[in-house]
Structure 1
Amino acid sequence: MALEMASARLILLFLLVALFRAGPSKAQGLGDFPPMQPRQPHDLILCDNKPGDLLLTRTQVKQKGQFLSYLDMDFMYPPVAGYEFTEVIHCIRVMDKVSDNNGGYATIKSGGLNQNAVTINLRSQLGKGIEFIIEIYGQDPTASAATTSGP
């Protein structure tokens, strides 16, 4: 028992000597910290713009958070499952409107660019709400073909 106590004291003494020999670390000065990084947006922007693209839909999704839980919801375009529009999607913009880095995240669940439909999953951070502006741009290829076809 006395031998274990002596070994523990010796190890402690060794650590203290090593700590004091190292001196103050460089990171202790206030001027040594790197500058703060700007807020990283949680926006999702996927675009393959084509001439003649129109705004197909613009929607605001806003929901308050719940204590110790995540909000998880899907946004579908077109809004009716099983119904297909003829418009082809060329640009998807999901902008996070929460500016304090507590906003949610958007991911493409199905569909997307150069398709007729898209499902976007919106997920909050733990205990936080979400607020997104969703814009989808595209065009109806049958309409442009009808206007450009000659007699």
Structure 2
Amino acid sequence: MHINRTMISSTSLLLCLAVIVPLVMAESISNPNEINLRTKGASHNLILGQRTWGDRLLFHQVVDVHRKLFRKVTYDVKYPSGSYGNANISCITVIDLKSDGTGGYPYLKSGGVGYRSALINLLSQRSHGLHFNVTVYGK
């Protein structure tokens, strides 16, 4: 009896698919949040610290930088714009206003919670712009 190699490879492929597909489907169904993130996209927010009683708004800026085709866009947000502020930072929120997953990524480069200054770098995805709401709270 002669067995054809293509027959064995197609049988192996079908067997693998019969095992893998139900496992993947079971994982997707058991984790509904993952499905939700895939369909609606995700924002890239950065929240450092937390607001406490007596905090006041120290800084607010809406960053809107247009896209550059086939390139990434970067933008630095600096608080305070001068040398140093007179209040200690207790909370920094950088909210991505693009909720479809195409927004940029915020990074804290220096300073932050417990300091009197902060430098936040915003980096876009390739061929996309930046749209963030940056707030700093402190006492």
Is the shorter-chain TM-score for this pair beyond 0.5, marking a shared fold?
Answer: yes
Specify the alignment match of 2:136 in structure 1.
136
* CA contact 1:88–1:114 (8 Å) conserved in 2: yes
Is the contact made by 1:48 and 1:113 (CA closer than 8 Å) also made in structure 2?
Answer: no
2:25 to 22, 32, 38: 32
Query: Could you list the runs of 4 or more consecutive aligned residues of structure 1 that deviate by over 6 angstroms after TM superposition?
Result: none
How many percent of aligned residue pairs carry the same amino acid? 28
* 1:1-151 matches, cutoff 5 A: 13-21=4-12, 23=14, 25-26=17-18, 32=25, 34=28, 36-38=35-37, 39-80=41-82, 83-139=83-139
| SS of residue paired to 1:23 | helix
Number of residue pairs the alignment of both structures matches? 125
- Pair 1:61–1:21, CA change in 2 (3 A): closer
Deviation string for 1:35-87 (max 9, x for gaps)?
5242332000011433211111111000111111000111000012xx21110
Partner of 2:32: none
The Cα shift of 1:14 comes to 2.4
Assess, with a 3 A threshold, how the Cα gap between structure 1 residues 50 and 21 changes in structure 2: closer, same or farther: closer
Tell me what 1:149 maps to. none
Amino acid at match of 2:55: D
Of 98-107 and 38-47, deviating more is 38-47
Contact persistence 1:106–1:120 (CA under 8 A): yes
Gaps of 5+ in 2: 30-34
AA aligned opposite 1:132:
F
Structure index of larger Rg: 1
TM-score, with length taken from structure 2: 0.79
Check the 8 A contact 2:43/2:98 in 1, yes or no.
no
Q: Taking structure 1 as the reference length, what is the TM-score of the superposition?
A: 0.73
RMSD: 2.4
